Amino acid sequence: MHRLVLTGFLSAMLAALSAENGLASPLSSRLLPLVPPGAEIVSGFENHPTLYTHGRLLLSTHNNRLDLDDWQALTGVDTRRVFDEVIEVASAGPDGQLTQHLLLVAGRFDRERIFSAAELNGAGDVEYQGERILVITPFARERGDMIDTRWLVILDNRTGVLGTPGLVQQALRRYAGHALPDPVLQERMTDLRPDVTSWNVLFASPRSENNINFKLPHSAWASLQEGADVLLVAAHFGPHIRVDFVVHAQSQPDPGFFHRKAAFFTAAFGRNAESPATSDSPELLESRLQNFSLEAERVQGSIEMSHEQFVQWCQQLTLIAAETRLALPRGN
């Protein structure tokens, strides 16, 4: 059975050669034009060779994490592969569940070597939009976890695409048509600070049941996302970790709505993150947050922590996940 809920904060270092380019704004991503419009979750991170800026994820679905794991396994035969950037997409299917998933990877890859190895292991092939596609069935180690047959394509040895066929087809049509980034996604991403190396944009959608599957009664993430039209969470990884958030409300939120959202982040250290400190006064809350701004329809802020504090936050959320049956992939 798919665990189609969001994971909590985690680290995921890519087991590959790292990128050589410097930090870039998420809006400058060359993968962004391939993201199909209308997705409920779009997450990305850059991969860099330095101690503090290697690739890390913040929020992801279980299917997205399996796609990333499987991409690394499929490309493992290419000893010179380079991962520069990753974008993950989750979208609701006809049943309203987040069953559609897509992985986009920018870097340098040896397509022929990767495809030859996959075919030796039983992958089939088809053609779409003039591109050769490998058909990937679930690996034996993940049967019962991943049930989807996925398509794999590598474009010009620079861009990898892996996911459910419908989303891969949309990405390939956008690639062939030289599409520009989805303007709705692009507009929301202007809220991201340009130095973040990991970012997430979550859209509430009438297509998706249970408001993106957050309605688990004791989930910290349920209280964070509930009632939000758009939620952005991003991070800058350096000697310290800065976590940014932006919450756009749905129509006419109650008076304490934004206070509860901001309090989630200040409650992460040394408290029970399952029960955020909503008793904090607005003045105390603002003093604990950087870049704090409260408007009629949105709140934003940042919190800085040491790497030790970040690990504690991960552990706290892992405990919550265990209690609420959230599926957290492994961290490092």
Contacts of 165 (CB under 8 A, 6+ apart): 149, 150, 151
3 state SS of 238: coil
Please compute the mean of the pLDDT values over residues 26-38 and round it to a whole number. 94
23 falls in which pLDDT band (50, 70, 90)? low
| Helices assigned H by DSSP within the chain | 62-74, 111-120, 165-176, 183-189, 210-213, 220-225, 257-266, 282-288, 307-324
> pLDDT tens digit string along 143-190?
777 888 999 999 999 999 999 999 999 999 999 999 999 999 999 999
Range from 202-206, 220-224, 230-234 carrying the lowest mean pLDDT? 220-224
> Over the chain, what is the mean pLDDT?
77
pLDDT at residue 255, rounded to an integer = 72
296 falls in which pLDDT band (50, 70, 90)? confident
Range from 18-32, 203-217, 260-274 carrying the lowest mean pLDDT? 203-217
Please compute the mean of the pLDDT values over residues 2-27 and round it to a whole number. 50
CA dihedral 308, 313, 314, 317 (to 10 degrees): 160
Sheet containing 82-91: give its strands across.
124-128, 131-136, 150-155, 159-163, 100-108, 82-91, 41-46, 198-203, 228-237, 241-249, 298-305, 290-294
Rounded distance, CA 41 to CA 102, Å?
Answer: 10
Rounded distance, CA 31 to CA 27, Å?
Answer: 10
58 falls in which pLDDT band (50, 70, 90)? low
Asked if 255 contacts 295 with a C-beta cutoff of 8 angstroms, the reply is no
3 state SS of 319: helix
Rounded distance, CA 61 to CA 63, Å?
Answer: 5
Range from 5-14, 114-123, 200-209, 277-286 carrying the lowest mean pLDDT? 5-14
pLDDT at residue 207, rounded to an integer = 52
Between 187 and 305, the more confident residue is 187
Between helix 62-74 and helix 111-120 the angle, nearest 10°, is 100
Burial class (CB in 10 A: 0-12, 13-18, 19+), 250: middle
| Token code pair at residue 330 | 């492994």
pLDDT at residue 153, rounded to an integer = 97
Q: What is the pTM of this model?
A: 0.83
pLDDT at residue 326, rounded to an integer = 36
pLDDT at residue 267, rounded to an integer = 62
According to DSSP, residue 110 is labeled -
